[in-house]
A and B are shown apart, each in its own frame.
Chain A
C-alpha cells in the first residue's frame, strides 16, 4: 500500500537545495499538495520573488515567473488582470519572503489587498533576510540579534517589526488573512488547511487571500533545525500569534 507520493506539482528528480532544517521545502511541498488537490496545476501561474523564495520555480512543476524584489503582488495583479481580459480562467499566486512582501514590496502588497485583487499570497516569515546572510528584516523581533542588529533589535535604534497578517486583514479588499507555522505535525496540517482555504477564496473569486507562514532559518539563527522549531513554538509564535485574522467566507 502506498502511503505517500511526491505531489505531481513538484518537478520530478528535483533536489533539495535549501539549508538543512529550512522550512521552505516543507512550505513548497504543502503548496504543491494543495495545487494537486484542487486540480490547479495546469492552470496555475506562480510568481516567485527575490531571496530564498525565488527557488520556488526550481521545485514547482507549474508555469512560473520571477518578479523583481518586492514586486510579486504587482506582477501577479498584472497576470491575473490579463487572464481575465483574455477570458481565461487561471490561478495566480505569489510565494514571497517577509522582506519581499512586507518591506521593499509593502506598497504593492497592501495596495493589491486594498484593490481586492483576486490573487493568493504565501509569505514565508523567517524574521530575517535569509539569502543575503541574516540581516535584520521588517519582521525581526525585538531583541533579535542579526548581522545588522548585532546588539539586538531595539525600539529606539531600529524601531518595531510589522505584523503582516494583521495589517492585511485590515484591508477591505482582503477575503482571507491567516498566520500559521510548521514546527510540529498539528501546525503543518493546519498550515496546509489555511493554504487550501486561501486558494479556494481565489477560485470562488472572493478577492485577496493571504497566508503568512512562520518558518525556521537555522543557518542564520545559528541554531540546530530542532532548536529553530522550538524557538518558533516558544518565542516567535507568541509575538506573531497563529490564527485567522479575517475570513469573509464566514460572513453570512
Chain B
C-alpha cells in the first residue's frame, strides 16, 4: 500500500477499513457515499467477508450491532437524512458499548435536502441524535489522506473505548480525488476477549443489553459511561494549528473547508496580516481547552462553516472572556469560495481595525 494512488475520499475510507481489519460492511445506497459500499461489495465478496446490501439503513446499523457484539470489526456508511434513521441503534450501541464505525458523508438538509456539499450534521454528530446521556466520538478529516488515517483511528478508538465512532466527512471530500500514499494501519489491536459474545465456552454466559429495570443499576451504568466519556475527553482531543503562534486573527473551521481556510491565511500573510487557523480534528471531544488557551492572547476569531453556525456555539464556549467571534458561512451549495471568505474577513479586519504589518 505504499505507492501513490489517485483516490476519492470514499474509496480511501473503504480501502483503509479493509486494511484496519474490518470484516463486515452493512449499508444501503445514498449519494454521496455510495462508492464506499460499491467498492467493498466486490472486495469483501472476494475475501469471503460479511457484506450485506441491507433492506434499509435501520437494518444496516442493527446488523453492525450484531456483528460488533461478536468482536468483529464492522463498518457502516451513509449520509445525513439516512444517518437520522440510524440514531436509535447508535444510542443502543453507545449504551451497549459496541464499537461500530459509522461514516457520514454529509449532504445538505434538513430532511431530504439534496446532494450538495454541506456541513449541516455537526450538531447531530456531536450532540447525538439518539435518546439518553451518551456521546459518540466524532472525527473530521480534511483531506483524502486523512480520510484513510482517520478511518484507522476510528477503528482503533472504537475498540479502545468500546464506543461508536462517527467519521464525519463532507460530501465534497468524499467525492474529491487526490493523490495519496496509503500507509499501513499504525494502531495496535485491542484485546476484546473479556466482553465479546462468541459462545459460552469455558466461561460464564454473557449478555449485552441496554434495558435495565433496576434504577440503581441504570444510574450506575450511565455514570460509568459518563466516566468513560471524561477519559476520552482527557486523552483523545485532536486538532491542528496553522500559523497560530503570532496571529492576530484566528479562523476556526473543520473538514475540507479548513483547507480552503488555510489559503485565506496564506493570502493575508502575503499582505502582512497575521491570520492563523485552528482546526478541530475531533469534533467530539471538542478542543475547548486548547482553543480557550489561544484566546487568552488572541482576541479576534472567525468561524467559517458550510452551515449556519453549528460549531460556532462550541467555539463560543471555548473562548475566554474578551475574545469575540464572527461567523462566515452558508448552509448549502458551492463550497465557500476563497473570495467569499476573504470578503468576509476583510470586513472583520476593518471592524476590528487590525493593522497590516
Binding site for B on A (CB under 8 A): 11, 41-45, 47-48, 50, 54, 57, 60-68, 71, 74-86, 88, 90, 107-108, 110-111, 115
7 A–B contacts, CB within 8 A, in A order: A62-B199, A64-B197, A65-B69, A74-B62, A78-B62, A81-B51, A85-B48
- Roughly how many angstroms separate A43 CA and B74 CA in the complex, as a whole number? 21
- Roughly how many angstroms separate A54 CA and B207 CA in the complex, as a whole number? 11
Contacting chain A: which of B53-61, B132-140, B269-277? B53-61
Contacts of A42 in B (CB 8 A): 199-202
Contacts of A48 in B (CB 8 A): 209
B94 at the interface (CB under 8 A from A): no
Interface contact A68-B92, CB-CB below 8 Å: yes
- Roughly how many angstroms separate A37 CA and B63 CA in the complex, as a whole number? 29
Q: What interface size band does chain B fall in?
A: 35 or more
- Roughly how many angstroms separate A86 CA and B70 CA in the complex, as a whole number? 9
Contacts of B88 in A (CB 8 A): 68
Interface contact A111-B59, CB-CB below 8 Å: yes
Contacts of B207 in A (CB 8 A): 57, 63-66
B210 at the interface (CB under 8 A from A): yes
Interface contact A78-B200, CB-CB below 8 Å: no
Contacts of B210 in A (CB 8 A): 66
Interface contact A63-B197, CB-CB below 8 Å: yes
- Chain B, Cβ-Cβ closest to A61: B205
Choose from A50, A75, A107 the contact partner of B65 (Cβ within 8 Å): A75
Query: In the complex, what's the smallest C-beta–C-beta distance from A24 to chain B, in angstroms?
Result: 16
Query: In the complex, what's the smallest C-beta–C-beta distance from B25 to chain A, in angstroms?
Result: 10
User: Count the A-B residue pairs with Cβ separation under 8 angstroms: how many?
Assistant: 152
Interface contact B55-A78, CB-CB below 8 Å: no
B128 at the interface (CB under 8 A from A): no
Interface contact B70-A82, CB-CB below 8 Å: yes
Interface contact B209-A66, CB-CB below 8 Å: yes
Contacts of B49 in A (CB 8 A): 85
Having A78-B50, A85-B23, one finds 12 other A-B pairs with CB under 8 Å, namely A42-B199, A45-B197, A48-B209, A65-B65, A65-B197, A65-B207, A78-B52, A80-B66, A82-B67, A84-B48, A90-B199, A110-B55
Residue from B60, B65, B202 having most chain A Cβ neighbours under 10 A: B65
- Roughly how many angstroms separate A60 CA and B66 CA in the complex, as a whole number? 18
Interface contact B52-A77, CB-CB below 8 Å: yes
Contacts of B208 in A (CB 8 A): 64-66
Contacts of B148 in A (CB 8 A): none
Interface contact A82-B24, CB-CB below 8 Å: yes
- Roughly how many angstroms separate A61 CA and B202 CA in the complex, as a whole number? 13
Contacts of B56 in A (CB 8 A): 107
B289 at the interface (CB under 8 A from A): no
Contacts of A108 in B (CB 8 A): 55, 58-59, 62
- Roughly how many angstroms separate A84 CA and B49 CA in the complex, as a whole number? 7
B1 at the interface (CB under 8 A from A): no
B198 at the interface (CB under 8 A from A): yes
B320 at the interface (CB under 8 A from A): no
Q: How does the 8 Å CB contact mask read for B313-356 relative to A, with 1 for contact and 0 for none?
A: 00000000000000000000000000000000000000000000
Contacts of B62 in A (CB 8 A): 67-68, 71, 74-75, 78, 108
Choose from B51, B71, B96, B201 the contact partner of A43 (Cβ within 8 Å): B201
Interface contact A44-B199, CB-CB below 8 Å: yes
- Chain B, Cβ-Cβ closest to A57: B207
Contacts of B52 in A (CB 8 A): 77-78, 81, 115
Contact A63 B198, CB 8 Å, known A85-B48, A108-B55: yes
Contacts of B48 in A (CB 8 A): 84-85
B223 at the interface (CB under 8 A from A): no
